[in-house]
Structure 1
């Protein structure tokens, strides 16, 4: 039995790629065609590649390997966290910190610091510390907890990475490649497939698409550990070509020209241009406002100029006769 079906992929909108102006030519072999200004991903290849990735991840988990799920875009954080926890694995759902893999010893020191602060709080040490110091410790704990909760129990480097959108997670991909850690990646039409070892061509923006692929890979780990994989179902309406759930739920920053929710995509104009008839809207009638009558201000009478003052003649004194 197939681990995933073509109908599931269609229902989740996995086949919708990026706008034809935003693509990586290396993805050409995974593209079925173009429609309404967007590329359509070949789902027959996606089905096969998901099965290949499933088998490889199953083998890694069966050999007690650890898996690190990576997806830091805000709308995908909950999916990454939920599926990683369900599979009993680790995750990074916040900003990828440089050196998470290549400088792992330093990362472990930060995790140890988090554990120490939590122990201080549990032992009521905060009660005897100055209030200002307690505030600083709580802020430090909050920051460490935000970035390291998903990997605090990871005792060494992971055996594999599951990455959603290698283009966004390029730092994680670069570190894994440097350490020869195999990468399983959801790759959209704007990504470079050469950056990952197990390519899964898929829409990496729509939450339903990401949920389907990531949950399927998590099922591989669960099954390898002797658990029961879940049946992935969606109760809401299927993703349409308009992909209305891409914004704000799954729309990338700076990707406003993608079909579906960009501001310049309304009225069926993929790529920012109208296709078909331009919608007509009644224009408001403009009636000029009558000009107010202009009344001249009264002019004050001008006072007559004062007569010029003539200087008195200077009379020289008469000389006295001797």
Structure 2
């Protein structure tokens, strides 16, 4: 795996509140090696994440993503959190910038493990989009057109981020291990490497590369995503230089 310098700055992490974990009541004992201390914050005892560990694993994740992107591999970002506000939007924006696939509304059980069914839904989505673009809905009865438009809207909302994904992803980035546990389990079953943002209530042993960080703050999530996206974008640039000289 390529080792590169990713400019992971301690002060920036503190400013982005990456170090603020959950309260002691909701912690997972397996996260102990990643905890620096317990502190009072806003009147509540919370765990403080060891940012030296965060920097180390984030750097490893960036190296892996750079290598994958430089080889033209497919990367999927999963994050369907409604809270904190706009967390799901941050996932979509990051994925679009990095030219990755993404799921940010809802993870359907079997999305990867029942890939044949997912492919059928994706084909339906593409067919409906073509029909709409060609104006075929206009020739239908209003009721029939309305049904197809609703179907298209639903498929676009939930599968629009993976509509160009032709096969299983090579790497999956998961924002909030607890929320996306089903997605993580599917990756484990299929042997797909995972990079997980893990707060102090998560099990770091489940991810191939766990990044200890605050997953309850949009600023923290966005800061981590920006670093990962930068690595992917650099990898894409390397791929283009190698293959399109």
TM-score (normalizing by structure 2): 0.90
Matched with 1:44 is 52
Task: Please give the residue correspondences for 1:25-174 in structure 2 after superposition, counting only pairs within 5 Å.
Answer: 25-36=29-40, 37-74=45-82, 75=85, 76-174=87-185
Cα pair distance change 1:21/1:115, threshold 3 Å: same
Matches of 2:208 and 2:138 in 1, distance apart? 51
Task: Give the structure with the larger strand fraction.
Answer: 2
Structure label with greater radius of gyration: 1
Q: What displacement does 1:157 show?
A: 0.5
Instruction: Give per-residue Cα distances to partners, 1:205-227, cap 9 Å, x unaligned.
Output: 11010001011111111001117
Q: What displacement does 1:44 show?
A: 1.1
Q: What displacement does 1:127 show?
A: 2.1
- The alignment's C-alpha RMSD in Å is 1.1
Runs of 4+ in structure 1 deviating by more than 6 angstroms, as ranges, are none
- The answer as to 2:191 corresponding to 1:180 is yes
Cα pair distance change 1:68/1:2, threshold 3 Å: closer
Higher RCO structure, 1 or 2 (CA under 8 Å, sep 6+): 2
Contact 2:81 2:88 in 1 (8 A): yes
Instruction: Give per-residue Cα distances to partners, 1:152-186, cap 9 Å, x unaligned.
Output: 00111000011011111001000000011000011
* Unpaired segments ≥5 residues, structure 1: 228-322
TM-score (normalizing by structure 1): 0.69
**How many residues of Structure 1 are paired with residues of Structure 2 in the alignment?**
227
Matches of 1:210 and 1:29 in 2, distance apart? 21
Contact 2:36 2:48 in 1 (8 A): yes
Q: What displacement does 1:2 show?
A: 4.1
Matches of 2:98 and 2:139 in 1, distance apart? 41
Matched with 1:23 is 27
Matches of 1:49 and 1:3 in 2, distance apart? 13
Matches of 1:168 and 1:11 in 2, distance apart? 25
Matches of 1:127 and 1:147 in 2, distance apart? 25
- The answer as to 2:215 corresponding to 1:190 is no
Matched with 1:269 is none
